[in-house]
């Protein structure tokens, strides 16, 4: 029986800025990486190591200068901007350090936003889906609260629910616990893990918190635009 198609592959991915100028800068160097469906992965590295650039490429917010990004068997280099936007909107969810909620909207309305962007008008099915997701993250009682009337931990839970609205196969989380106290950070991390296990959703989590990173399935560590450690080696160093 053939091995299943990976969720995502980076093959020889490079990213340069300033091409055509006297001093072009290459920030990603020949990256090879495979993510399997259902993995729960940490991406670590110092500021300037290339984590954000790699996350932008994986999230289809930017394109590589060289190499290929393949998502669920689709070579994204062959897609036009419309197809890239559709693939990103339907198959990739985002969680940010700053939750990026719309403060004048309720929790329920914020969770509905990706579905509204996709369909352009609200429906009862969207509202039901948003109710279900807020229940999953433990916020049913707060669904009608305005986002700016919720705690930081609650707001990040809303952001997690929002990231799941379109049933994506991959969630990209950029320092999702960076602005939270240790108890809220632990709760949010545990919630992401529960979603990963119950929904089989792949998570790639950028974090500087090595205690949290050590609780993932594997760690990808970057230095100067290159992957220098992955899996067991990085896990052992994080736990040391």
Distance of alpha carbon 152 from alpha carbon 163, whole angstroms = 17
pLDDT digits (tens, 9 = 90+) for 171-204: 999 999 888 888 988 999 999 999 999 989 999 9
What whole-number percentage of the chain has pLDDT above 70?
95
Q: Which domains does the chain have, with CATH numbers?
A: 37-64+79-239 (3.40.50.300)
Give me the pLDDT at residue 120, please.
83
Is 2 a residue whose pLDDT tops 90? no
Q: What share of the chain is helix, strand, coil (3-state, %, to 5)?
A: 40, 25, 35
**Beta strand 226-230 with 218-223: parallel, antiparallel or unpaired?**
antiparallel
The three-state secondary structure class of 89 is helix
- Using pLDDT thresholds of 50, 70 and 90, give the confidence band for residue 14: very high
Terminal C-alpha separation, the chain: 38
> Which run of H or E residues covers position 94?
strand 92-96
User: Mean of the pLDDT values across residues 63-71?
Assistant: 96
Is 233 a residue whose pLDDT tops 70? no
* Sole residue written with tokens 């969720």: 7
pLDDT digits (tens, 9 = 90+) for 71-112: 999 999 999 999 999 999 999 999 987 778 999 999 999 999
């Amino acid at each position: 029986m053939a091995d299943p198609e990976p969720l995502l592959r980076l093959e020889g991915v490079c990213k340069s800025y300033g091409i055509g100028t006297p001093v072009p800068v290459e920030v990603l160097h020949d990256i090879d990486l495979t993510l399997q469906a259902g993995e729960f992965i940490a991406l670590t590295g110092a500021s300037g190591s290339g984590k954000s650039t790699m996350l932008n490429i994986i999230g289809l917010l930017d394109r590589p200068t060289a190499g290929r990004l393949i998502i669920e068997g689709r070579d994204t280099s062959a897609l036009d901007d419309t197809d890239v936007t559709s693939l990103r909107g339907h198959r990739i969810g985002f969680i940010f350090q700053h939750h990026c909620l719309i403060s004048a909207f309720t929790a329920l309305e914020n969770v509905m936003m990706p579905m509204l962007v996709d369909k352009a008008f609200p429906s009862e099915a969207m509202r039901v889906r948003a109710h279900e997701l807020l229940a999953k993250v433990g916020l049913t009682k707060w669904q009608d609260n305005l986002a700016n009337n919720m705690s930081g931990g609650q707001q990040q839970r809303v952001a997690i629910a929002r990231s799941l609205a379109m049933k994506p196969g991959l969630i990209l989380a950029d320092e999702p616990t960076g602005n939270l106290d240790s108890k809220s950070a632990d709760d949010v991390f545990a919630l992401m893990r529960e979603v990963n296990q119950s929904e089989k959703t792949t998570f790639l989590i950028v974090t500087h918190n090595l205690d949290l990173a050590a609780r993932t399935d594997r760690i990808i560590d970057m230095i100067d635009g290159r992957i220098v450690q992955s899996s067991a080696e990085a896990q052992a160093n994080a736990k040391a």
